[in-house]
Amino acid sequence: MKTHKRVGSICALLLTALGAPPADAQSSTAAVLFSRTQYTQDNRIDSISIFRTDPQGLRTIRLTPRISGYQFKLGGWSPQGTGIVYELVRNDRPAGQSQLYVMDRQGGGVRQVTHGQGSHSMPVWGPGGIAYAEGRCLALVRGDGENQHVLFCPPDDHLLRRPQWTTDGTSLLIQAGHRGGPQGPIYQTLWRVNASTGQATRLFRLEDEQHTQQPKFSFSPTREEGMLWGGGWPALRVTFSNGYFWSYNSEGYGFKYAPGGNRVAFGGYLVLPDGTGFSNLYVSDRREGSDTHQLSRNYSNPDIHWVPVQWSRDAQYVLAIRRTLNAQRSLPPVKQELRIVEVATGRQTRLPDGEAIEGAWFQP
């Protein structure tokens, strides 16, 4: 396990209490979507189901059934929080085939919105419709299933991550790339694509011959900069206007920008003198990685792995996953616990067990 040193004292060890939920939990429409995965005895995915809960974790309903061979992969909320998009993968269909569906908040009104051969994956519902990956290309479809069309196909590349809408709903940011042969370099490009015309502007190009895995990008709310991390790379902050990047002072993974863009949440490792690393949840200033605060208090379990998912709209809370990894890392995690963590105090509100993705927390 690769670890990164973090300055800090553990002399005052405090147990993190499960505290009160955030204020917006009182809203009747605020909700968190999450999924649960069931595995076969030989650790293959048997089924995935989608659930909805409130930010207090008190009222949870199942939105999709548990059916062996059916994977209901969560996409996210419609902009007004009235609909949910997901990808359905069925084991009784040819490999590489999937379609997108939408449903209401109660799991009803299900309708298929994509058609055709191949995969339709990684959906994100934004102001201009549902953006998704159709094969290696970026595509769009309306929430009612109309006007399904391919918007842009990156030259020589394929989409690596879910597309991201710009705040004004006029463009999409995508991360695309490929590997130049089995031992060749990694190529990765960030594009801004006009949602109306499909015209694409290249923001950043990376060629890497030293690392074996694709790095990941997290985009700022303004979509004018991002954080590059993972794949053996150090954390880097990138400005898209000029392609300039520099090392971030705080090493970590899973970087998520706060709504105002001034802070980031991330997972990182606290390394003890004996070399043992423990994953924790952190928040720091986004400019240089300074003023870092540790939110969780994991000093004893090397199998715990914290992953930030999404900030609250007021930037006072972070939705995160507290995974308990299998001792044999290639096997599925033992447990995935959803927590809403208060940034000022570290207090945690425990939600039902499951996995969430960015955009899963709807906040009116």
- The DSSP code sequence of 259-271 is TTSSEEEEEEEEE
What's the pLDDT at 269? 92
In this structure, the chain runs to a length of 364
Q: Report the alpha-carbon angle 179-181-183, nearest 5.
A: 95
**How many helices, marked H, and strands, marked E, lie in the chain?**
0, 29
What's the pLDDT at 350? 97
Phi-psi category of residue 307: left, alpha or beta, with phi > 0 → left and psi -120 to 50 → alpha: beta
What's the pLDDT at 25? 42
* Two tokens, residue 15: 């147990």
What's the pLDDT at 182? 67
Q: Which residue type is seen at 4?
A: H
CA distance 176 to 191: 8
pLDDT, tens digit, 9 for 90 and up, residues 10-24: 223 223 334 545 544
Residue 40's CB is within 10 A of a number of other CB atoms, namely 10
- The DSSP code sequence of 111-133 is EE---SSS-EEEEEEETTEEEEE
Is the whole-model pTM more than 0.75?
A: yes
Is 77 in contact with 32 (CB distance < 8 Å)?
no
Residue numbers in the chain where pLDDT is lower than 70: 1-28, 181-183, 211-212
Q: Which fold has domain 23-362?
A: Neuraminidase (2.120.10)
Ordered by start, the domain boundaries in the chain are 23-362
Residue with token string 């989409």: 159
What's the pLDDT at 172? 96
How does strand 245-247 pair with strand 253-257? unpaired
Q: Which residue type is seen at 279?
A: S
Task: Tell whether the torsion through CA atoms of 51, 24, 58 and 82 is positive or negative.
Answer: negative
